[in-house]
């Protein structure tokens, strides 16, 4: 199967939304909020895509300082194209763009077992906050 990988900093919001839905990642992303999706695409430092015969079948979207830390915030592969190494290749292509920094991600519950299998190291602790009112 001939999959092409490339950076696409101007990936359309429509294609981004579509791959989120076809990958099931859309269950945890604001797919009905066009303004947020537009900001997610516009403000990404790295947008890598995987295409099969022109059709978007995978995307990795990252925020990076290109020196120390790169947060891979979205890794989405069309369900029909999963288990073909596309996600692993998107991660590898992202890492190539930031060879001196760490590539960091938060795994979706269904994907937690995947990342150690491809050689990623799990950290014991991670923290997040969604609402400023939660700070004490």
- What pLDDT shows up at residue 3? 97
Neighbours of 59 (CB within 10 A): 28
SS3 (DSSP) at 8? coil
The pair of three-digit structure tokens given for residue 91, joined into one six-digit string? 């991660």
pLDDT by 10s per residue, the chain, length 136: 799 999 999 999 999 999 999 998 888 899 999 999 999 999 999 999 999 999 999 999 999 999 999 999 999 999 999 999 999 999 999 999 999 888 988 877 777 777 788 887 877 767 777 777 777 6
CA 75 – CA 96 distance, rounded (Å): 16
Residue 133, pLDDT score: 77
pLDDT recorded at residue 93:
96
Three-state helix/strand/coil letters over 52-68: ECCEEEEEEEEEECCCC
Determine the Cα–Cα distance for residues 116 and 24; give it in Å rounded to an integer. Answer: 20
Say if domain 3-134 classifies as CATH 3.40.630.30. Answer: yes
Q: What is the pLDDT of residue 121?
A: 80
Q: What is the pLDDT of residue 41?
A: 96
Domain boundaries, the chain: 3-134
Residue 106: what pLDDT? Answer: 80
CA 28 to each of CA 59, 76, 120: distance values in angstroms, whole numbers, following the listed order: 15, 11, 22
Q: Is 132 exposed, middle or buried (0-12, 13-18, 19+ CB in 10 A)?
A: exposed
Separate counts of helices (H) and strands (E) for the chain: 4, 5
Report pTM: 0.88
């Amino acid at each position: 199967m001939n999959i092409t990988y490339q950076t696409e900093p101007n990936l359309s919001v429509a294609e981004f939304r579509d791959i989120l839905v076809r990958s099931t990642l859309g269950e945890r992303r604001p797919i009905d909020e066009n303004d947020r999706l537009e900001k997610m695409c516009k403000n990404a430092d790295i947008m890598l895509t995987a295409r099969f015969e022109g059709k978007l079948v995978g995307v990795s979207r990252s925020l990076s300082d290109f020196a120390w830390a790169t947060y891979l915030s979205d890794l989405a592969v069309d369900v029909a194209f999963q288990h073909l190494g596309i996600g692993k290749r998107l991660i590898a292509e992202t890492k190539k763009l930031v060879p001196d920094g760490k590539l960091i991600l938060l795994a979706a519950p269904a994907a937690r077992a995947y990342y150690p299998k491809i050689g990623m190291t799990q950290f014991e602790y991670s923290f997040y906050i969604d609402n400023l009112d939660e700070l004490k």
